[in-house]
Structure 1
């Protein structure tokens, strides 16, 4: 996905061929972040039951954290001289996290699905880490560790919140 438009060229000392694979991995993770963000907001808006307030607030906090990562991912792609996502269609073509359009999802199922999706995002971030290290892209390799930690923490919180007391 190397940038071929001179108007979008970005100076970088990294090899363009290597950064293209890093950008591809980053864009895949970015698509999954958007899919996970929207699913988390969907569940935040539609959660119900005896733990409504706790789950409603948890999911809102998690959605905000996910959305906060998106700009950093896209800017990292641009810093390496590549281009990033441009549309909902682009996201849909790249996302691996499935949408959930069901009319009703129980709170326990919501938490379990989001837990599993966050773990899928961890796998995506690990693929970014591998691509970055292969490309000797130290900045991407370093920053993806924080995103991985955040996704692992979200999965942990969702797991703990869903445990039966």
Structure 2
């Protein structure tokens, strides 16, 4: 038995029929898996900053980040299931996610509240770029369903970016 035949049999249990072509499934599922790694990284960083918030605006920032973390986490299952629904695979472990994520972790012992909000603002901005790139890929392959999901996530991410931008805007 050839290696490719063994590989095909190994993955046969995960076969999901799709009207998208094999290249579309491969490209879109890979983009979604990488996007999912970024979303998990942003979720954990948002919760990290939520848990470690301090200062005179503690309550407002603590609640803002909790709300944003809930919204970010809500995307995770839909992203993973969309990749599977079209016939691809998705993340299998934290290690897998860490190898794919493009957003940097923050393991610092202390980050100022302004630093936290500014970092999350930039991470959400970077996530917007990745989502738009994935949307373009979906358009190229005619995957309107994934593109539609991305449009909603882009809108939510723009709102998070806006809130973080306004919160970090210097006082005049």
TM-score class, shorter-chain normalisation, is over 0.9
Provide Cα deviations, 1:102-150, integer angstroms capped at 9, x if missing partner.
Answer: 0000000000000000011101101110111111111011110011111
Following superposition, the deviation at residue 164 of structure 1 comes to 3.6
Counterpart in 1 of 2:20?
14
Partners of 1:93 and 1:75 in 2: how far apart? 20
Which residue pairs with 1:159 in the alignment? Answer: 165
Matched, 1:65 2:71: yes
- Corresponding position: 1:141 with 2:155: no
Match of 2:120 among 111, 114, 118: 114
CA-CA distance at 1:3 after TM superposition: 10
The question of whether the paired residues in 2 share the 8 Å contact of 1:3 and 1:83 is answered with no
Residue of structure 1 in register with 2:109 after alignment: 103
Cα distance between partner residues in 2 of 1:81 and 1:138: 15
Instruction: Identify the residue that residue 86 of structure 1 maps to in structure 2.
Output: 92
Report 1:44-59 matches (<5 A).
44-59=50-65
- TM-score, with normalisation over the residues of structure 2? 0.92
The question of whether the paired residues in 2 share the 8 Å contact of 1:9 and 1:81 is answered with yes
2:4 matched residue in structure 1 = none
Q: What CA deviation, in whole Å up to 9, does each residue of 1:49-89 have, x standing for no partner?
A: 01000000000000000000000100110011000000001
When Rg is computed on C-alpha atoms for both structures, the one with the higher figure is: 2
Q: State the aligned residue count.
A: 164
| Separation in structure 2 between the aligned mates of residue 25 and residue 36 of structure 1, nearest angstrom | 16
Mapped partners of 1:27, 1:158: distance in 2: 26
CA spacing shift, 1:89–1:51, aligned 2, 3 Å: same
* Counterpart position of 1:33: 39
Query: Cα RMSD between the aligned structures?
Result: 1.4
The gaps in structure 2 that reach 5 residues or longer are 1-7
Please tell me whether residue 42 in structure 1 is matched to residue 44 in structure 2: no
Conserved 8 A contact 1:133-1:141: yes
